[in-house]
Amino acid sequence: MNALSPLERKLASAAQTSLLDVRDLHTHFLTDTGTVKAVNGVSFQIGRGERVAIVGESGSGKSAMAMSLLRLLAYPGKVVSGQINLDGRDLNQMSERQLNQIRGGEVGTIFQDPMSSLDPVMKISNQMVPPIMRHLRISREKALAEAISWLDRVGIPDAARRIDGYPFEMSGGMRQRVMIAMALSCKPQLVIADEPTTALDVTIQAQIVELLRELTEETGTAMIFITHDLGLVARFAHKVGVMYAGKLVEFGPVKDIFAHPSHPYTQSLLDTIPPVDQPERRRLAQIPGFPPDMKVPVVGCAFKERCAAAHKQCFETAPKLSSRGPGHTAACWRPEGLGTARHLNAELVPSMVSNTEDPVVVEIFNLHKHFVGRSVLPWRVPPTVRAVNGISLSIRKGETLGVVGESGCGKSTVARLLLGLDPATSGDIYVEGMAQMVFQDPASSFNPKMKLSDIIGEPLVVTGWGTRAERGDRIRELLTQVGLDEGYMQRYPSQLSGGQRQRVAIARALALKPSVVVADEPTSALDVSVRAQIINLMVDLKHQLRVSFVFISHDLLTVSYISDRIAVMYLGEVVEYGLTDEVFRNPTHPYTQALIAAVPIPDPVAEEARTKKPLSGELPSPLNLPLGCAFASRCPKATDYCRAEKPALRALSPTRDTACHYAN
């Protein structure tokens, strides 16, 4: 770069007056087995009032980087070198005491888990008021008034009373609102939010994101937003930084990055997400291999082993961030990264027209599951949670049924009933053949003391299937089907990555050739690139083996990609049921509409055009369900009739059932 263009000069001068200017930040974790270089030379600038999203897979160093800014890392993490200039002062040179003036004052923080980031034994007021007094130097009374007004602004009803409550009296969404109020109450110039909505349901996430956007815009607060959800980035951020192996590999304005990603990693990440509007389904891109071991020094580009476009130079010298447009930089030797033609390589997934001739393999009729608690007084009626409240579904051979809904809607309970793990209170379940399960948490789904051959072979041994040699052959066949080789038979689960574990879980589920496999959030614990691998695998198996899947998830994009039919659940009931593409294009139930509107889509232009009116309120307690429609308390269209009379699931068209009085 010899002569600066006028635009670049303007940007350079903006950088001088930027709010936060991080230069060559290095953070190491000094573990027993070696130094993990979690942040390996990160530089970026944030202007006032700018919202910057930092994305990357787990282990990319994004959280370590954010925590380093305020030196919030616990031992063995340590900021080794770098400048962190906030308004011209280097935070890295400050003493702990000086830094405490900044923390919570000029820079607020919001953490991921609202359940553990508030002190459970302190009243909200005691957690909010002293920091306000200290940082704004005002009296207790004024600080209390300020705190109440902030709680009011973040949408806590009856704030003056709730401020004297304890965190356990609030739901997760409420607590995250309190965290936001705390972070903003000292009028910070910058807020660092580490995955602030990951632990929340989609409709609550939409509320929180909307709230954060409104409030930061109002107060002119800049924000660093750590996330792995590219949809949220598109909805929320001005700028995006993509991190890989402790380095920023791409940084730029959000629209630019989504429209013209130029680093192969960014390109692959964007391609792993199921597209929203899909006349035809293409295989999702998957990133092969694993991120590098951060204890070992990386020669050349850290992404080279996983990059299709890697060439000699990539193995020798690490590329530096170089300009790809106004304010847009990427660290890749190739100007185009993988190139723009990469989409054309993606294979088409043959569409499976669901055939009404196919036999029904699962039939659920009027299923109920009530959990009866113990009553306070013996003669009182005990409290009853109606987790599943009369649902009827059927699944044909080879069909994939997606079940979506927020946590507490009863979708996992349906899965357990279907598998016979819990007895139903009433209703009928008919399964032709066998139902098997793939669990959510790959860490706890295997006995850590068993080898993979024993894990996959367990169903065979238990049911007395074949001889030892036949079982061995079957295990090898299963491993091949899920894309693992024989060498894995002697491994233990702890030696596998999350994606490999989920493959093994699928192999175990398929061992006895079940007619239906129930997958309860099988991809929610996985990183996006691995998620794409598992989804591709399930799509392949669905076609090869003609096995039916029940895919339970709160991730609507994934469900819509993989399912033929979809059932939307709310408070133990199915409120809408139909062909996936139809339901997504034209949702008829107000809850489905709200759910689809709440899902952020990874396209900033489309996001801008969408109306953002998040669903208000939270899921009512399933302990005392309302008399009428369960959704009436949150429904924008609810009338007195809805509150009095419960709508039944009725057929709107041959392929669509909806439980709403006003749907048409």
Partner 1 sequence: MTQEAIVLPSRRPFDLAWLHQNGIVRALGNRRIQLALAILGPILFLTVFRPLLPIQGPLQTNLREMMQPPSFQHLFGTDKMGRDLVSRTLAGVQISVFVGFAVAALALVLGLVMGTLAGFFGGIIDRVMMTITDIFLAFPSLLLAIGLVSVLGTGMVPVVLAISLSDVPRFIRLQRSLVLSLRTRAYIDAARTVKASQLWLMTRHIIPNTVAPLLVAASIAAANAILVEAGLSFLGLGIMPPAPSLGNLIRDGQSYLEQAWWISTLPGAVILLIAISLHFLSDGIRQVLDPRSHK
Site for partner 1, rule CB under 8 A: 32-33, 286, 288-290, 293, 295, 305, 416, 419-421, 435-437, 439-441, 444-450, 455, 458-459, 462-463, 483-485, 487, 491-497, 499-500, 503, 508, 512, 533, 536-537, 540
Q: Helices 124-136 and 140-153 meet at what angle, rounded to 10? A: 120
Total number of residues shown for the chain: 664
**Least Cβ distance, residue 495 to partner 1 (angstroms):** 5
How far is Cα 440 from Cα 498, in angstroms, rounded to an integer? 11
Pinpoint the alpha helices (H) of 419-555.
Answer: 452-462, 468-481, 498-510, 528-545
Give least dist CB 306 to partner 1, A.
8
CA distance linking residue 175 with residue 191, whole number of Å? 17
Q: Which is nearer to partner 1, 76 or 326 (CB)?
A: 76
CB of 548 to partner 1, least distance (A): 15
Token pair 């709310």 in the structure block, residue = 570
Residue 633 near residue 640, CB atoms below 8 Å: no
- Distance, in Å, from the CA atom of 550 to the CA atom of 437, rounded to the nearest integer, reads 9
Q: Which is nearer to partner 1, 79 or 285 (CB)?
A: 285
Tokens of 233: 């980035």
Q: Which two tokens stand for residue 594?
A: 């709200």
Residue 49's region, left for phi above 0, alpha for psi from -120 to 50, else beta, is: left
Closest approach of partner 1 to the CB of residue 464, in Å? 11
Rounded-to-integer distance, Cα 647 and Cα 435, Å: 31
Minimum distance from residue 508 beta carbon to partner 1 (Å)? 7
Angle at 501 between CA 499 and CA 505, to 5 degrees: 115
- Residue 169's contacts (CB-CB under 8 Å, 6 or more residues apart) are 162
* Distance in angstroms between the alpha carbons of the first and the last residue of the chain: 61
Nearer to partner 1, 222 or 538 (CB): 538
Distances from the Cα of 636 to the Cαs of 436, 526, 618, in angstroms? 39, 35, 13
Q: Which is nearer to partner 1, 5 or 480 (CB)?
A: 480
Q: Cα-Cα-Cα-Cα dihedral of 243, 249, 254, 259, to 10°?
A: -130
Shortest CB 387 distance to partner 1, Å: 16
Q: How far apart are CA 438 and CA 48, in angstroms?
A: 46
Q: At closest approach, how far in Å is the CB of 60 from partner 1?
A: 15
Minimum CB distance to partner 1, residue 74 (Å): 14
Is 505 or 663 the residue whose CB approaches partner 1 more closely? Answer: 505
Distance CA 234, CA 609 (A): 12
Where do the DSSP E strands lie in 32-118? Answer: 34-46, 51-55, 77-86, 89-90, 107-110
Alpha-carbon distance 181 to 201, whole Å? 20
Residue 193's closest CA among 70, 42, 57? 70
State which residue, 290 or 662, has the beta carbon closest to partner 1.
290
Min dist. Cβ of residue 474 to partner 1 (A)? 14
Shortest Å, Cβ 526 to partner 1:
12
Beta strand 650-653 with 573-579 is unpaired
Which residue's CB is nearer to partner 1, number 292 or number 602? 292
User: Which letter does DSSP use for residue 621 in this model?
Assistant: P
Those residues whose C-beta lies under 8 Å from the C-beta of residue 631, and which sit 6 or more positions away, are 570, 571, 575, 589, 590, 591, 638
Task: Report strand pairing: 548-553 vs 516-520.
Answer: parallel
Is the Cβ of residue 416 or residue 565 nearer to partner 1 in the bound state? 416
Torsion sign, CA atoms 213, 216, 220, 222 = negative
Which one, 33 or 356, has the nearer CB to partner 1?
Answer: 33
* C-beta closer to partner 1: residue 183 or 414: 414
Nearer to partner 1, 459 or 590 (CB): 459
Smallest gap, in angstroms, from Cβ of residue 295 to partner 1? Answer: 7
Residue nearer to partner 1 on the CB measure, 149 or 447: 447
Task: Pick between residue 98 and residue 463 the one whose CB is nearest to partner 1.
Answer: 463
We find the least distance from the C-beta atom of residue 127 to partner 1, in angstroms, to be 30
Identity at 598, one-letter amino acid code: A
As measured in angstroms, the least distance from the Cβ of 557 to partner 1 is 21
Q: What is the DSSP string of 570-620?
A: ETTEEEEEEEHHHHHHS--SHHHHHHHHHS--S-HHHHHHS---PPPS-PP
